[in-house]
Structure 1
Amino acid sequence: MGTNVLLTGTPGVGKTTLIRKSLDRLDVRCGGFYTEEIREGRRRVGFGIVSLAGDRGILAHVDIKSRSRVGRYGVNVDDIERIGVRALEGALRDSDLIVIDEIARMELYAPSFKRMVICCLDSPKPVLGTIQERKDPFLADIRRRDDVTVVRVTEANRDALVPRILDALGTITSL
């Protein structure tokens, strides 16, 4: 099995930034997706989902009417499947490194996403991703896997973590 590295920490601590900095140091084919905030002025109104190939969708938004909700956000399960799941399928097929940013409550509303995360973790390809700290049986099972290294990101350690992440990924890295 591949080595899987999942970053965890409080929202806004820099997990996605660390993934991007790590990817900048690698000379390998990467596939997968990341999430980003959607803002109107200073107010966060939702989250986007973006494949590494550039496909974009809405993960969750205050204006989405959905039975699947996280706080004030309606979750867009269709875009999780259309962007996130497809990006992971493509990464399994065509990439050397799979990026999953993130595995969290919003994404877990899509059963196909949960299945695809397990397929990615079970594959021989390494995964670099983020995982929410929240207590959830699915998330806890992932964190307990022998092939997963969980790295806690804090403001105090984040600037020194890129070499540790690259080291944990093992032979795929090229510094």
Structure 2
Amino acid sequence: MIKNIFITGKPGCGKTTLIREILKELKIPARGFFTQEIRREGERIGFEIITLTGKKGILAEKGIKSSYKVSKYNVVLRDLEEIGVKEIKEGLKENSLIIIDEVGKMELFSQKFKKVLSIVLESENKILGTIMLAPYRTRSDAGLKPNSFCDRIKQRPDTKIFYLTKENFQEIKEKIKNLLK
């Protein structure tokens, strides 16, 4: 039985929008978080996490100190772990649909995030999330191999990966809604 649903695709194809629309249409109990850009004067300066209950935190930002970096953004694990991971744990207690936007390079620096995601994958809770498009190879001082973690998720028999494009948006939305009903 499929219980873990992940959407992948190129940046800007509508992954987050798709999840928001599905939640709005199905009206099912859900906990988790979305990731969105932080912009200042039209320029992207970072990313924030926003929980479904309205809590916000910084995921990554230019110009802040951090041991972890993706492109020009320094990753802040504290808010991901204190806000995002906590929200996922609450969803586990409530047997809610767990929303994770996203399982990506920045999030995978956090061992606490990976641990709670592993727990959710093994739980009775369904997951609706986004996952990075393809495995990637990166130099990491922490010795992390985030690509192998994502590969294991994608290969699970209880997991379905949907590749989203602007052209198949409605079709994928209906397929996911049917899996969640």
Task: Compute the TM-score of the two structures, normalised by the length of structure 1.
Answer: 0.93
The one-letter code of the counterpart of 1:98 is I
Could you tell me which residue of structure 2 aligns to residue 20 of structure 1?
Answer: 20
Could you tell me which residue of structure 1 aligns to residue 91 of structure 2?
Answer: 91
Greater alpha carbon shift after TM alignment, 54-63 vs 1-10: 1-10
**CA offset digits 1:60-109 (Å, max 9, x no partner):** 00122111000100000001101110010011112421111110010011
Matches within 5 A, 1:25-174: 25-135=25-135, 136-169=147-180, 173=181
Distance in 1 (alpha carbons) for counterparts of 2:18 and 2:41 = 25
Is the 2:101–2:131 contact (alpha carbons within 8 Å) kept by the matching residues of 1?
A: yes
The one-letter code of the counterpart of 2:62 is V
Unaligned segments of structure 2, at least 5 residues: 136-146
Matched positions, count: 170
Could you tell me which residue of structure 2 aligns to residue 3 of structure 1?
Answer: 3
The one-letter code of the counterpart of 2:167 is A
What is the RMSD computed on CA atoms of the aligned residues?
A: 1.2
The one-letter code of the counterpart of 1:4 is N
Is the 2:2–2:160 contact (alpha carbons within 8 Å) kept by the matching residues of 1?
A: no
- Where 2:11 maps in the other structure, the secondary structure is coil
Distance in 2 (alpha carbons) for counterparts of 1:162 and 1:17 = 10
Is the 1:34–1:49 contact (alpha carbons within 8 Å) kept by the matching residues of 2?
A: yes
Distance in 1 (alpha carbons) for counterparts of 2:48 and 2:117 = 19
Task: Compute the TM-score of the two structures, normalised by the length of structure 2.
Answer: 0.90
Alpha-carbon shift at residue 120 of structure 1 (Å): 0.9
The one-letter code of the counterpart of 1:125 is N
Runs of 4+ in 1 over 6 A off after TM superposition: none
Is the 1:31–1:91 contact (alpha carbons within 8 Å) kept by the matching residues of 2?
A: yes
Distance in 1 (alpha carbons) for counterparts of 2:88 and 2:166 = 29
